[in-house]
Each structure stands twice: as structure tokens, then as C-alpha cells.
Amino acid sequence: MSLRPTLSGNVPASTATVARAAFPRGNPYLRLRDHLGTIFTDAQFAPLFAPCGQPAECPWRLALVTLLQFAENLPDRRAADAVRGRIDWKYLLGLELTDPGFDASVLSEFRGRLVAGGAEEHLLDTLLALCRDLKLLSARGRQRTDSTHVLGTVRSLNRLECVTETLRAALNALAIAAPEWLRAEADPAWLERYDRRAGDHDVPQGETKRRAHAEQIGRDGHQLLAAIMAPGAPIWLRQIPAVELLRQAWLQNFSIIGDVPAAGSKATPLVRWRTEQEGFPPSLLMLASPYDPEVHYARKQSTIWIGYKVHLTETCDEGGPHLITHVETTPAPVVDRDALEDIHAALEAKGLLPGTHLADAGYVAADQLVASRKKGVTLFGPAPKDDQWQARSGEGFTVQDFRLDWDREMATCPAGHQSKSWAPDDHQGRTAFKVRFSTTDCRSCPLKTQCTRSGRRLLTLRPREEHETLEAARQREEQLAFSKEYRRRAGIEGTISAGVRGLHLRRSRYIGLTKTHLQHVLTAAAMNLIRLGAWFAGTPLARTRQSASTKLMMAPIPA
């Protein structure tokens, strides 16, 4: 389809007259049109369309309709009906009252163009740029970030179900792509084993029987893979995505004992079901579902899920609307602190880097404190605690009790002994230094019981800049001003709650990380529209709800 740009003119007079009469006290969508105009233009979406072909529906209107349907949590068909039948929508879209609208399939096609063109964040960024022009948003203010889990749109599978369903998916894909080849190579017993989805079959009870059942599946999958890799098999069979996922799942979940039979051989391979003793790949690489390879298993405290994780960042300065400035969607196992660098890079590209960034302890680490400071951002949140027994007991000597001479690479303990070695080391994938003291000095030291429980004291230090920055952050937490400023971070939890309860933020509608990210960006842009509508109406921010007993206990006692 091709783009035929249309001018976004004024609202038709008849539409404006009826809308004003229908909403004499105003309406959020009427206020948005009066204050923000059309928000989008056709020219912004020109790269997404071909230079010739059938004329496409007006893209700036499709962009607005997409945000409206996310704001009201409407499916495509009901959103298309709203374009035809709702006066407030027609006013915002600048349509005549008699405009028939468009077919619902156009909305899905428009979202597909956004994904194909890499323009997932275009709608949110355009809205933010307009808010900057209207002085509703500014850089170097105060922003806050938090994350929540997102459930994938696929069924949650345990490891046995996953390999069963992966083999079943591969057989179904081959039945469509190469039916005659599969008919010749398939084992007749597979019809009974894989005719239904995993979980519908009876799984044997007991560890021994379950293991035997898993290894039978492993032999079946290995037989299929061997046939695909055989010299006489079509090469293109190996390029089928379901076959590649089958190969990946079998490498992760099975091991072959002894020599592998030659291709085409009828010998039965000795396939073993992997256990924790053999080890598994990290969760970020482990296949969790053949129907969405990008969902992964993750666990955060008591929450266990298979899917993704979304990070929301919003402004929280007084005197302006609180707007979501960035959305980051990551695989589920990615920890919060590893997403912070990408969040800051994206905000910097938009010209919206905060001066103070409020975040919980999951985002705050020594290296992130340093990296944020280099960008001119004060990362504000609980710093990592010293988890050594000396610090936990409150009676031992911590790193703070040692004098560190970074230039000479020398440490002096509370008893006056100097370290014997200061060597670089890789600590949990990060640069660190191991500082060791002499065994002779430590064993005879009268302060040994307060210092170490081993033969000698060992200090693990971060690089100097990270060490000093972390110490400064820990001292900052002890000040009264810290708790007062940090209270503002709690508001982001309300934003996530609103997204979860009203807009289904925590459930992916689509398959794949890219489309799920599009959902999150559209949800954030829709929430911004809702907040802007409330801001233009002068609606104050809601106060934190309190129970009746809390209000009673906090109320002043009458004199």
C-alpha cells in the first residue's frame, strides 16, 4: 500500500457543534484535540509505506486510534466501531459525523508496519516531543523507574512438557513443509505419542518411569534429527525454524552417551535425560516454549514466571503532569541493574536525561552509580549493603575500618599490619581487587576474632572510583534528607499498578520480544494521553488511599 498524504485541518463544523452540545462540561478527548491538535502527521509515517500501490488509510488517524484503543483496552473490532459511532473520537480524529470509518483489519496491519519499520517507539517519542514544545516536559528534572514481570502469551511448560511440545511442533511443521518426506521417515508410533499437546497425555508416576519416558522422547527426537541431517535429505529441512528449535532443545535437555551412530544408521542412540548434576544452560539461553523462543523462565523473590520484563520510567516533578518518558522491554532473566545503561542511553537520545533518577535497590550498583554520574545523573536509591559477617554482626571490622592506599596498592588493618598482596581479580564478571594479609600476622593478632574466621583476612575491593562512590552513597542513606527524597519513588508503583489493572500491562498480547515491546510502548503512550487529558481538565493527582483504621490512628488527638 502507498501513502497519499492528507492535510490535518480543523475539526468539521458539524462535528464540533454536536460534540460541544453532547459534552457541555468538556470531555478528555475534546481537550486533547484543543490543546495538542492532531499530534501526528502523515509525513512521519512515509518511510513505512511503498511509493506506489493502493492508497492506505490515513496513518496519523490510525496512530491516534491505536492509542485510544489501548487507553480503553479495546480490541480492533470495537475500536473500529468507536471510530464510526462515537462523537468524542470523531472530534479528536477530525472526522465528519457521516464518516464510515474503516475495516478493523487496518489496525493490525498498521501495527505490523510499525514493527517491520522498527518504529515501535515512534508514537511515544512523537507525543513526548510535542509535550516538550508545549513546556509540559523538560530534561534534567526528577524521574523514577521500576519494573514488573510480563507473562508470555504462550502456555507455561515444565521441562518435560517443553521437549514434548517442541518435537510435536517440529513434526507439524514438517508435515506442512515436506509431507512425503515425513511420511517415509516417521515412526508409526509417533502418531500415538505426539497426536495431542503436551500435558494431555498421562505422564508416568515415579522418578524412574518419568526418566524413561523422557528418554523415549529423546530417542524419537534424535531419530528425527538424524534423518534430517542424513546426506540424502533435502538441505532446506535444516533451515525450518521448528527444526532448529528442536536441535537446540535436544542439546539443552539430553546428552548422548558413547559414540553417536552414523547418519542413516538404524542403531539406537544412548540418549540420557539431563539432570542438575550434568547442568543446564543459563535461563537466558534455555528454551522455554517452541511457540515463542524469546520467552524465558525467571524468578524474583517469590514470583516465578515465563515471559518478559518491562521497565517504566516517568517524570515526577511538581508543577507538571507525570509522563512516562521511556519503556524498556527485556527478557525475563535480565536483572534490573543491567537494563539501566540502556534506559539512560535512550533517554539521552531523546534529550530527556534526568538530573535525579529515583530507583529501588535492584538498579543501584557501584558501577551504575559511576556510569550515571558521568552522564550527569544522580542515581538515587538504596546502595548495596556489605553482606560480610563482620558488617552483619555489627561487631567485626569491615572494609571501612581498613586504611586503603590506592596509589601504593597497600591496605592497613586496624591492628596496624599491612597487606602482603594486592592483585586484580574477576569477581562475578566484574573487575575487582583481592587484598590479602599475611597468615603470620593474622594468626597471632589479638583482634583476629573481630576480623576473620579463616587463617588470614581477605578484602575484595572494587576499582577505586566505584569503591569511593559506593561508600558515599551508603553515607548518603544515613541522612534524613535521603528518606524524604526517596519517598517520591513510590509513585512509579502506582503507575505500574494502573497499567496492570486497567491496561493489562503484565500480560503479553503478542508472540516475540519486539511485538511485546510495541504493546508496552503503546500502553505507555496511551497512559500519557489519559494523564494529559486529566491535566488539561485541572484534575489533581490522587492521594494514596488509606484505610479507616489508618486514618483514625494518624489523626491528631483532640486536646
Q: Residue 160, SS3? A: helix
Q: Residue 411, SS3? A: strand
Contact assessment for residue 457 and residue 413, using Cβ atoms and an 8 Å cutoff: yes
Angle between helix 76-85 and helix 105-116 axes, rounded to 10 deg:
120
Burial label for 311, CB within 10 Å (0-12, 13-18, 19+), is buried
The number of C-alpha atoms within 13 Å of 65 and in the hemisphere containing its C-beta is 31
Task: Judge whether 428 lies within some domain.
Answer: yes
Contact assessment for residue 293 and residue 165, using Cβ atoms and an 8 Å cutoff: no
Domain boundary among 63, 87, 119: 119
Q: Are residues 107 and 175 in the same domain?
A: no
Task: Judge whether 474 lies within some domain.
Answer: no
Residue 324: phi and psi, rounded to 5, are -75, 120
Task: Judge whether 456 lies within some domain.
Answer: yes
Domain boundary among 463, 491, 522: 463
Q: How far apart are CA 255 and CA 347, in angstroms?
A: 45
Read off the C-alpha cell for 159: 521441562
Task: Judge whether 485 lies within some domain.
Answer: no
Q: Are residues 165 and 113 in the same domain?
A: no
Read off the C-alpha cell for 516: 511485546
Q: Which of 364, 372, 437, 426 has its CA nearest to residue 403?
A: 437
Task: Judge whether 241 lies within some domain.
Answer: yes
Q: Are residues 81 and 168 in the same domain?
A: no
Structural Rg of the chain based on CA atoms: 30
Residue 421: phi and psi, rounded to 5, are -150, 150
Q: Are residues 68 and 166 in the same domain?
A: no
pLDDT of residue 270: 85
Tally of CB atoms within 10 A around 24: 7
Q: Which residues of 533-556 are buried (b: 16+ CB within 10 A; e: fewer)?
A: bbbbeeeeeeeeeeeeeeeeeeee
Read off the C-alpha cell for 422: 594486592
**Residue 526 identity (one-letter amino acid):** A
Q: How far apart are CA 18 and CA 141, in angstroms?
A: 41
Distances (CA, A) of 58 to 33, 34, 101, 193, 429: 17, 20, 11, 51, 51
DSSP per residue over 75-91, as a string? -HHHHHHHHHH-HHHHH
With a CB cutoff of 8 Å and minimum separation 6, the contacts of 495 are 146, 312, 314, 322, 324, 527
Q: How far apart are CA 327 and CA 312, in angstroms?
A: 5
pTM of the entire structure?
0.90
Q: Does an H or E element contain 469, and which? A: helix 464-477
Q: Which residues of the chain have pLDDT under 70?
A: 1-5, 7-8, 200, 258-269, 427-429, 559
Task: Judge whether 345 lies within some domain.
Answer: no
Q: How far apart are CA 146 and CA 493, in angstroms?
A: 7
Domain boundary among 90, 119, 148: 119
Q: Are residues 177 and 86 in the same domain?
A: no
Contact assessment for residue 309 and residue 334, using Cβ atoms and an 8 Å cutoff: yes
Contact assessment for residue 509 and residue 519, using Cβ atoms and an 8 Å cutoff: yes
- Write out the residue range of the structural domain in which residue 213 sits: 159-273
DSSP per residue over 298-312, as a string? EEETTEEEEEEEEEE
Helix ranges (DSSP H) in 254-325? none
Q: How far apart are CA 160 and CA 237, in angstroms?
A: 25
Q: How far apart are CA 461 and CA 402, in angstroms?
A: 11
Q: Are residues 17 and 114 in the same domain?
A: yes
Read off the C-alpha cell for 191: 502418531
Task: Judge whether 136 lies within some domain.
Answer: no
pLDDT of residue 319: 87
Q: Are residues 66 and 169 in the same domain?
A: no
Contact assessment for residue 227 and residue 193, using Cβ atoms and an 8 Å cutoff: no
Query: What residues does 357 pair with on adjacent strands?
Result: 143, 379
Contact assessment for residue 260 and residue 222, using Cβ atoms and an 8 Å cutoff: no
Task: Judge whether 85 lies within some domain.
Answer: yes
Q: Are residues 164 and 76 in the same domain?
A: no
Residue located via cell numbers 518511510: 47
Q: Are residues 184 and 248 in the same domain?
A: yes
pLDDT of residue 277: 85
Condensed to tens digits (0 to 9), the pLDDT of residues 62-90 reads 999 999 999 999 999 999 999 999 999 99
Q: Are residues 163 and 217 in the same domain?
A: yes
Number of domains in the chain: 3
